[in-house]
């Protein structure tokens, strides 16, 4: 077991009140913890170890762009065969502080941008942000790989590069 994974789990749970533990709803997910403060996260495990991922909160929005992208990818994975594995990009919109990705079947994934990490907020507000988000949404929790100007100069402007 990784000491880093244990530390992250301790940070998420110590001193918190667990309101519910729900069944896992994603690949390799054991369960979803619902905390009294409205936060929710999934616990995943394989023979190689365990990890956690943020998911939609009690208000129906995400506080983390990676959690939103991961759930979007988990949802569209099941849609792929109907589109012959060539899914259209999501519709991306922003209104009243909420980023919304709409999947091809109409399901929406909404995130409260003010709660995102600073660098993810900059991405949302950048003139190329929506295009990058739409292009990378299908990558799930690996979406940030597109934020590398050296590898993807046609996708990522230098000021958004994270590598």
Q: What is the tens place of the pLDDT at every residue in 23-43?
A: 987 778 889 898 888 888 888
Per-residue confidence (pLDDT) for residue 1, from 0 to 100: 52
pLDDT reported for residue 38: 83
Q: So what's the pLDDT on residue 4?
A: 83
Distance of CA 142 to the CA centre of its chain: 9
Ranges under pLDDT 70 in the chain = 1
Selection from 66, 58, 126 nearest residue 101 by Cα: 66
- Are 135 and 155 in contact by the 8 Å Cβ rule? The answer is yes
Q: What's residue 49's pLDDT?
A: 82
């Amino acid at each position: 077991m990784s000491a880093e994974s244990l530390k992250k789990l301790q940070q998420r749970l110590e001193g918190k009140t667990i309101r519910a533990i729900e069944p896992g709803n994603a690949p390799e997910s054991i369960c979803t913890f619902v905390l009294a403060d409205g936060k929710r996260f999934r616990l995943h495990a394989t023979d190689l170890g365990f990890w956690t991922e943020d998911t939609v909160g009690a208000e129906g929005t995400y506080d983390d762009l990676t959690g939103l992208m991961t759930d979007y990818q988990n949802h569209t994975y099941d849609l792929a065969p109907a589109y012959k594995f060539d899914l259209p990009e999501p519709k991306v919109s922003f209104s009243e502080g909420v980023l919304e990705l709409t999947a091809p079947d109409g399901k929406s994934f909404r995130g409260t941008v003010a709660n995102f990490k600073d660098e993810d907020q900059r991405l949302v507000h950048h003139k190329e942000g929506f295009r990058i988000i739409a292009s990378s949404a299908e990558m799930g929790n690996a979406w940030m790989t597109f934020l590398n100007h050296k590898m993807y100069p046609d996708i990522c402007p230098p000021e958004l590069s994270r590598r």
